[in-house]
Chains A and B, each alone.
Chain A
Amino acid sequence: MEIKLASVDSVIIYFSDTISKKTSLEVKSAYKLLKSLGDKNLIEIVPSYTSILITYDIFKYNFEEIQSFLKKLLKDLKTEKESALEIINVDVYYGEEVGLDLKRVADKANISVEEVIEIHSSKIYDVFAIGFLPGFAYMATVDERIVTSRLESPRKKIPKGSVAIADTQTAIYPQNSPGGWNILGKTTFELFDKTLESLSPITIESRIKFNPISKELFLKQGGVLEF
């Protein structure tokens, strides 16, 4: 673990310089511990794959003080077990009307569309980071059989709720957005619901399982097929 200067009022804690499940669990455990302090002087606590950025009130801590505070706090950090993290089930309609790249991913992998769906939906994914858009969770690790790189030219619009993959990562688009990920399906699951304020259903501490559903159920849940 290393604490580095980020800006006049921020430091960044690096747990490792490579992405791994172990590091991610350390990040999550440290994040949870920092959050549990309820310290208003820690203005932002932003976890990512291997790091946590902390923006602090410089009227309360100077650079030296925040460093020693964090060092002391994280010295004996107990890494939580993966099983302690909550699993969230997300219903997905993997149909070719909405999963625009299903066929291409299947062709590239030399397997059937059904196999792509089976492979994508059988894993439990960890959230490694949240960013890009509110509620956009970077999840991994996608099974190597269906690993597909980003589109060469991104789409101008990827519809809200699209479930997509890029390299070893998977994600759900929380709102309409330009994007270059390969779309496999669509969900009505709300990742960022303004009416819920802080209660975003998915945080860095969540684990996600995709559950394939029928077109009928998707439509019943309020899903739309239009692109």
Chain B
Amino acid sequence: MSFKVIKAGIFATLQDRGRFSFTHLGVTNSGVMDEYATLTAHQLLNNDLNDNILEITFSNVELQANDTTTICITGASCKFTINDEQKSTWQTHKIQKGDTVRIGKILEGQRVYLAVKNGFDIPKEFGSNSTTIKESLGGISGVQIKNNDILPYAKYDGKIINRWKEEHIPKYSSELTLRVLLSYQENSFSVTEKEKFFNSTYTVTPDFNRMACKLKGEAIESSLDGIISEAITFGSIQIPKDGQPIILLKERQTIGGYPKIGSVLSIDCFKLAQMKIGSTIKFKEIDITTAQEKLKDFYSTFIH
């Protein structure tokens, strides 16, 4: 019971919510860039929220099923067909033996998620299926999917028909405001520098991948040249010497030595994951109490 990869596209990787509790050995968390799209897909399939999923960054992925299952596509809007018939994303679809699933052109957003009922049946490494290429960990053999790969799943003949409410489906635009908790070395940034940071508009540069998103705009200056290397969390905003903010994402290095002005609220990083190069970013301050409430609200939506 499996999908055969007919066309692997350029960069599609198996992911889940990440690899935890090995960071002290230098192993990054990795995991899906957009948890909203991922958790929604799993919720619609009544999957375990920790199940794995295929994260597709560029178009042209084609899979052929050799048995019955149910799938759900979420994330970036795209041309999605089953046997050349146009289908809707953010809802479940039954798949029969011989069906061809195709993710064509990506229209809005950056990352498409393809979940299968009960997840793909592949062994975990260090507790996770998340692919981290630089560590050769996860996925099928530590790399992105390739043509002719086999993505196994357990046959599922049941009936699930679910659809995400239209008003909850994100609209990906070219502008985004990220909520920021001032933290880490925030004291090394003067009031003027902080004002600059919160009042400027930044642009997403091509240096945007699963590791980090580099922005371009008004330079921000820290009074520190560098810091003693320390662990860096998801969403941390590093300010290197050129003053251009770098937001650290799922495959970030585990420790680093640049001063950090703060951290983007994790659930906002999921929105960032869908922004195209050239999109504009603004920052807005949030306090820790409100931030933690927002985070709880987010995850409470997905707890069965």
Contacts and interface: CB of A to CB of B under 8 A. Distances in A.
Interface string A189-201: 0001010011010
B20 interface: yes
A194 B141 CA distance: 12
Interface residues of A, number: 45
Interface stretch (A53-61, A99-107, A212-220): A53-61
A100 to B, nearest CB: 23
B143 to A, nearest CB: 14
Question: Residue among B21, B22, B26, B265 with the most chain A CB within 10 A?
Answer: B26
Contact of B288 (A5, A18, A49, A204): A5
B173 interface: no
A203 interface: yes
A9 B295 contact: yes
A84 interface: no
A46 B24 contact: yes
A19 B228 contact: yes
B231 interface: yes
A130 interface: yes
B181 A194 contact: no
Interface range for B: 35 or more
B233 interface: yes
A48 B25 CA distance: 11
A6 B233 contact: yes
A10 B21 CA distance: 14
A73 B174 CA distance: 46
Contacts of A62: 289, 292
A203 B24 contact: yes
Contact of A47 (B24, B29, B136, B288): B24
B230 A134 contact: no
A33 interface: no
A26 to B, nearest CB: 14
Contacts of B3: none
A15 to B, nearest CB: 11
A109 interface: no
Interface string A172-198: 000100000000000000001010011
B184 interface: yes
Nearest to B288: A63
Contacts of A52: 231
A222 to B, nearest CB: 19
A43 interface: yes
B183 interface: yes
Interface in A126-156: 129-136, 138
A44 interface: yes
A98 interface: no
B255 interface: yes
Contacts of B22: 134, 198
Contacts of B25: 130, 134-135, 192, 200, 203
B184 A4 contact: yes
A107 to B, nearest CB: 29
Given A134-B25, A197-B126, A63 B184 contact: no
A85 to B, nearest CB: 15
A51 B134 CA distance: 26
B253 interface: yes
A50 B25 CA distance: 16
Given A6-B236, A135-B25, A53 B263 contact: no
B77 interface: no
A36 interface: no
A8 interface: yes
B23 A8 contact: no
24 contacts: A7-B233, A7-B234, A8-B266, A8-B291, A44-B29, A46-B254, A47-B231, A48-B231, A53-B231, A53-B232, A55-B233, A58-B296, A129-B255, A131-B229, A131-B253, A133-B26, A133-B135, A134-B22, A134-B135, A134-B137, A135-B25, A138-B229, A198-B126, A203-B25
Given A7-B181, A18-B228, 13 more contacts: A5-B183, A6-B236, A8-B288, A8-B292, A9-B292, A12-B184, A51-B228, A51-B230, A53-B231, A59-B296, A59-B299, A129-B229, A134-B25
Which 5 A-B pairs rank lowest in CB-CB distance, beginning with the nearest?
A131-B255, A53-B231, A7-B263, A46-B231, A7-B233
